[in-house]
Every structure is written in structure tokens, then in C-alpha cells.
Amino acid sequence: MTPLPIRPRRLRSSASMRRLVAQTSLEPRHLVLPMFVADGRDEPHPIASMPGVVQHSMDSLRAAAAEAVAAGVGGLMLFGVPTPESKDDIGSAADDSEGILNRALRALRADLGEDTVLMADTCLDEFTDHGHCGVLDAGGRVDNDATLARYVSMALAQARAGAHLLGPSGMMDGQVGAIREALDANGYSEVGILAYTAKYASAFYGPFREAVGSTLSGDRRTYQQDPANRDEAMRELAHDLAEGADIVMVKPAMSYLDIVRDVAQVADVPVAAYQISGEYSMITAAADRGWIDRDAAIVESVTAIRRAGASIVLTYWATELADRLL
């Protein structure tokens, strides 16, 4: 046999060897758990298209949050699901101090204090009767600047309620700068912004819309990014960094690992990526049918997001993964 002085397989020869030379680590602190809390629910309500994920009642939210923090999860991202009758054309419940999201933020901040990073979705889509992420003009299009005013009001309400990080996800031009200016002017300079820097108009959001009870008519392609485009993510990144983003995020994660990599190579702040509902549901459905190894697929998929450059991964498996990684 011809001598082979170079044998890469030597570094794959055992589990201990593979662990020794692994380039990418996955730890509970890297994970953020997205959570849905629904107004008027007395018990958790299963989300059919996301088996294992629920719309929480206030009580079940607090219990699940405590469990996640005990497992070492790095943070919690909160989404509010208002009652249908509370929705209107400007999303009034979003900045109502007694709205479901702000009540939940207060409850979790009181329970958990500084033991976790409490994040809030700063967007109107759950709260508007038309389901869009902003205020509509007379022609039915999302009015960017009128929406910024609503985001500012929502951001201040969330800051008052105890959020550590605000997550403006609507992809409005200038959203980070408008929120940063308002926070600083109102004494909330310590509240950070997790910018949804590159959020694409993805087909994989479908299950999420069930999760938040979306009433969307039409689509969001006039404000979310075109999946065909790569370079504009860098333009969005430059704007968000200049406007004061503390963390930047790519959403979705798995179908946009090239964008995660691009952003991570340039950004001088931490990079997050969101393993979204459709990605969760596809793995879950394939595993339920016995087509893939569920546990291995979960670890592989989240590790891939970390390998691409994300220092923070939002995933619905955060608590489960954290327990397995301890």
C-alpha cells in the first residue's frame, strides 16, 4: 500500500478526539427561547403546526420561563397574542401598559430580574387587524414613517415593562435609530436593541402566523427582504450599526447561512440568527415520520447556525437543548 503521511481521519478516530478538535461549540448560553403568551387563556394552547410549542397562559409562561432559565438558556424572546377584539388598524394594544405583551414582560422581570436577558418583539403585526407590521396609508401600503412613531411608543412601553432588549422586526427604514433616540431621551439608555437586520420575506414563516393568530392579508414583500438578494443585507447591516444596534440578527437562519456568515464577518457586535417556525416544523414532521433522527437533526441544525457565525441562536428547542448540553 502506498504510504499516506496525511491522514485527516486520525482526528476523527474517537468521540474524545472529535471533541478535542471541534471548532464550533454549542452551549446553553448561546440559546434564546422564543415564547408566545396569549391574552385570555387559562391554560397553554397547542399550536397545531408546531408540535411541542404552545400559546402560553400567564401562569404557564412564568413556569416555562423559570424552567428555561434554570437550564441555562441565555435569553427569552417574548411575543404577545392579543384577543381578536383588541386588534385595530394601528395596533393599539401593542403599547397599552395593560396589553398582554407588556403585562407578561412585567411578570417575567419581577420573577427573573437579572437572571436572564428578557427580549421583546417590537412589532405591530400581532396587534393589527390587517396583520401587517405597520400602519397602512390610504392606498393600503405600509407607511414607513407613521409606523416608526408607533414603534417608538411600543418600545417605550416595553422598556417601562422591564425588557432588557427590544427587537424591532418590521424592517422599516430607520427603525433602530428612531427607537434608540427615544430610549435615550426618556431615560432608558441601558435598554439595548436587537436589530432584525436581515429579515427575508420567507415562505417558512407559515407556522408562526398560526402561533400569533395573524390576520395578514397579502404579503410583506414591500418591506421584508427579497430571498434572491444577498448584498442588500450588508447595506441593512451598515444602517443598523450606524443607528446604534447592540446585536444584529438574520432571519430565517437555516436557509440563509450565507447571510449569517456575511454579517458575522463584518459586524463588530454580536450576531444572532433565528431558527424559525417552518424550520422547526420541517424537522419535527420528518422526525415524527421516522425519516430522520430527531435529536441528531436538532443538534446538527443549531450547530450549523453557530458554525456560520451566529453567537446567539433563537430556537424553539432552546430549553430542551440546554438540558441535553448540561
The C-alpha atoms of residue 320 and residue 313 are separated, in whole angstroms, by: 14
Which residue reads 439608555 in cell numbers? 189
310: cell is 451566529
Which candidate in 41, 132, 220, 251 is catalytic? 251
| Alpha helix segments (H runs only) across the chain | 15-21, 58-70, 100-112, 144-161, 175-185, 206-211, 231-243, 257-266, 277-288, 294-308, 318-325
**CB-based contacts of 25, cutoff 8 Å, min separation 6:** 306
Active site (annotated) includes residue 199: yes
The C-alpha atoms of residue 262 and residue 233 are separated, in whole angstroms, by: 8
228: cell is 434572491
Report whether 245 contacts 197 (CB < 8 A). yes
**Nearest-10 crossing angle of helices 144-161, 175-185:** 40
Which candidate in 30, 132, 180, 199 is catalytic? 199
Task: Tell me how far CA of residue 231 lies from CA of 31, 82, 134, 259, 319, in angstroms.
Answer: 27, 36, 25, 9, 34
187: left (phi over 0), alpha (psi -120 to 50) or beta: left
Active site (annotated) includes residue 87: no
Q: So which residues are the catalytic ones? A: 199, 251
